């Protein structure tokens, strides 16, 4: 597996569902296939829905992890736009 770094970053912690997925989907449409978008989101519904919706749309979740350095209750998800299946750091 080649090391990847995000080519774009999106902070949607101030938003609620379904706006979280709408913003993530727009950001994904602005990067090239195979590039990675880093998304900062809140625990709970956004953490559950954004990764699921991304996979349903044909994208891949590369990483999903707590990001306490970004603030309490913050999670980080890396989404690869339409990329082949990668090794994941989450189930």
Share above pLDDT 90 across residues of the chain, in percent, rounded to a whole number = 82
Round to whole Å and give the CA distance between 86 and 73: 26
CATH class of 8-80: alpha beta
H or E stretch including 60?
strand 60-66
Residue range 11-23, pLDDT digits in tens? 999 999 899 999 9
Here the tokens at position 8 are 């774009």
Which of 17, 10, 25 has the alpha carbon at shortest distance from 70? 10
The pTM of the full predicted model, rounded to 2 decimals, is: 0.86
Active site residues: 17
């Amino acid at each position: 597996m080649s090391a990847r770094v995000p080519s774009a970053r999106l902070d949607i912690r101030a938003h609620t569902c379904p706006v979280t997925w709408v913003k993530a989907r727009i950001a994904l449409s602005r990067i090239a296939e195979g590039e990675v978008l880093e998304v900062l989101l809140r625990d709970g519904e956004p953490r559950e829905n954004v990764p699921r919706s991304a996979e349903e749309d044909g994208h891949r979740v590369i990483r999903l992890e707590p990001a306490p350095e970004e603030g309490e209750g913050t999670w980080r998800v890396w989404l690869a736009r339409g990329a082949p299946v990668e090794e994941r750091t989450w189930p």
